């Protein structure tokens, strides 16, 4: 290998030789203004020390927020079957099975799932009452400005429930009618944004079962929720059916505080291992049936977080699946 013109090279390596000591220009500058050089070194050392201390304090803060020897405390709104419901012996459903396995693989002594109405879920997260959310939460650009998401875990879309005697073929069938939504959810967001366009009224309730009750009692023409939730609700109640599905590329993910990036990444490593070893697919088959091939339930994404959203880290996952 030869060096570029005018640049000396080492015969052994072909690279410019190592110079012992400062070059002549630097030596002259030191003689003329030694204090300036000392100040530069002091500033550089202070900056390096500050960066080291900041990184260390951030790491300690994350450890304090996620203590390894304490129960893993997470939040969700119960009643969104079959994701999370209150069973005879505690929370059960797809979401319960998933987070209990995550807690086990994290090595936490137990998992505490706190039932929080969706409208208060983000406040609980930011106030550090919970470590992260485990409800079926849509990954959106607006939410990614405020919190960190994991990679997509579950594909979803809009599912419209109506009474079995009614029909809905498309959005135009909503004109002049009322639809019931769970307050603060992505369904609420969609309904609010499209109410004027399609000419319907929005009724808001604090829990999904309340929206179904509004539908059955004819206060609303339709109840809107995520497709998996709507399908399961219709299977449990013969008075209602899923009349229309709007698949729109949405996905669920866990949400963390912005400063919890290291712990988010740790949890995501576990989620990716659960995808690779088939654990997540088995849970889906248990609660929802066989997932579509190539869905988020089987897909391991590059990096950490949701691709295309704020908080995504284009760093290869450091998987150590056991």
pLDDT (tens digit per residue) in 211-269: 999 999 999 999 999 998 998 899 899 999 999 999 888 999 999 999 999 999 999 99
Whole-number percent of the chain with pLDDT over 70 = 80
Residue 78 has a pLDDT of 92
* pLDDT tens, residue by residue, 116-130: 999 999 999 999 999
Q: CA 284 → CA 92, 113, 122, 145, 254, distances in Å?
A: 13, 20, 26, 29, 16
Confidence grade of residue 19 (pLDDT, cut at 50, 70, 90): very low
Q: DSSP per residue over 60-115, as a string?
A: HHHHHHS-TTS-EEEEE-TTBTTTBEEETTEEESHHHHHHHHHHHHHT-S-EEEEE
Single out the residue of 91, 68, 93 nearest to residue 83, CA to CA. 93
Q: How many CB atoms lie within 10 A of CB 253?
A: 27
pTM of the model: 0.70
Maximum Cα–Cα distance across the chain: 94
Question: What pLDDT was estimated at residue 322?
Answer: 80
Tell me, what's the pLDDT at 110?
98
Query: Given this model, what pLDDT does residue 55 score?
Result: 46
Which tokens is 172 given? 């135009």
Q: Residue 50 pLDDT > 70, yes or no? A: no
CA distance 109 to 98: 16
pLDDT for res 292: 80
Residue 47: pLDDT band with limits 50, 70, 90:
low
Please state the rounded mean pLDDT for residues 92-111: 98
**181, 208 Cβ separation under 8 angstroms:** no
Q: Note the pLDDT of residue 29.
A: 52
pLDDT over threshold 50, residue 162: yes
Asked whether the bond before 69 is cis by omega within 30 degrees of 0, the reply is: no
Mean pLDDT of all residues in 176-196: 97
Indicate the Cα dihedral angle 226, 237, 121, 158, nearest 10°.
Answer: 10
What would be the CATH architecture of the domain defined by 156-249? Answer: 3-Layer(aba) Sandwich (3.40)
151 vs 64, more confident: 151
Which of residues 56 and 301 earns the better pLDDT score? 301
* Residue 279, pLDDT score: 98
Q: Residues 251, 296: contact at Cβ < 8 Å?
A: yes
Given a cut of 90, whether residue 17 has pLDDT beyond it is no
Helices within the chain (DSSP H only): 24-32, 34-65, 94-106, 121-126, 141-144, 186-198, 208-216, 227-236, 261-276, 279-287
Classified as helix, coil or strand, 159 is strand
Please say if the pLDDT value at position 113 is more than 50: yes
Whether 9 has a pLDDT exceeding 60, the answer reads: no
Query: Percentage of residues in the chain with pLDDT exceeding 90?
Result: 72
Q: Annotate 94-133 with b (16+ C-beta within 10 A) or e (fewer).
A: bbbbbbbbbbebbebeebebbebebbebbebbeeeebbbb
| Closest by CA position to 288, among listed 229, 216, 236, 224 | 229
Q: Which two three-digit tokens encode residue 81?
A: 């079957």
Query: H or E stretch including 243?
Result: strand 240-252
Q: Does position 27 have pLDDT exceeding 80, yes or no?
A: no
How confident is the model at residue 49, as a pLDDT?
A: 54
Which residues, including other chains, have CB under 8 Å from residue 203's CB and lie 6 or more apart? 178, 179, 180, 181, 211, 214, 219, 220
Mean pLDDT score of the chain: 86
Distance CA 220, CA 177 (A): 7
Residue 289 has pLDDT above 80, yes or no: yes
Residue 306 pLDDT class (50, 70, 90 cuts): very high
CATH code matching the domain that covers 66-153+253-287, chosen among 3.40.50.80, 3.40.50.1390, 3.30.1540.20, 3.40.190.10 = 3.40.190.10
């Amino acid at each position: 290998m030869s060096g570029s013109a005018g640049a000396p090279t080492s015969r052994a390596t072909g690279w410019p030789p190592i110079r012992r000591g400062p070059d002549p220009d630097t030596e002259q500058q030191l003689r003329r203004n030694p204090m300036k050089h000392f100040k530069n070194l002091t500033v550089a050392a202070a900056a390096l020390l500050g960066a080291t201390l900041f990184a260390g304090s951030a790491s300690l803060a994350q450890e304090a927020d996620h203590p390894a020897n304490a129960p893993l405390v997470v939040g969700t709104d119960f009643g969104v079957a079959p994701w999370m419901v209150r069973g005879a012996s505690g929370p059960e459903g797809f979401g319960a099975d998933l987070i209990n396995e995550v807690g086990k693989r994290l090595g936490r002594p137990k998992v505490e799932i706190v039932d929080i109405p969706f409208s208060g879920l983000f406040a609980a997260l930011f106030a550090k009452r919970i470590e992260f959310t485990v409800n079926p939460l849509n990954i959106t650009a607006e939410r990614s400005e405020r919190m960190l998401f994991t990679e997509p875990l579950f594909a979803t879309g809009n599912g419209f429930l109506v009474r079995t005697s009614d029909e809905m073929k498309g959005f135009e069938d909503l004109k002049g009618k009322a639809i019931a939504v769970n307050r603060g959810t992505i369904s609420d967001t969609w309904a609010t944004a499209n109410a004027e366009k399609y000419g319907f009224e929005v009724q808001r309730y604090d829990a999904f079962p309340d929206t179904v009750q509004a539908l059955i009692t004819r206060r609303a023409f339709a109840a809107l929720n995520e497709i998996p939730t709507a399908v399961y609700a219709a299977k449990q109640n013969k008075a209602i059916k899923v009349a229309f599905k709007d698949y729109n590329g949405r996905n669920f993910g866990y949400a963390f505080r912005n400063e919890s990036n290291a712990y988010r990444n740790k949890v995501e490593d576990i989620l990716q291992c659960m995808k690779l070893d088939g654990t997540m697919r088995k849970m889906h088959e248990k609660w929802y049936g066989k997932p579509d091939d190539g869905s988020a339930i089987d897909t391991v994404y590059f990096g950490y977080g949701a691709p295309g959203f704020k908080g995504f880290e284009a760093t290869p996952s450091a998987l150590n699946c056991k």
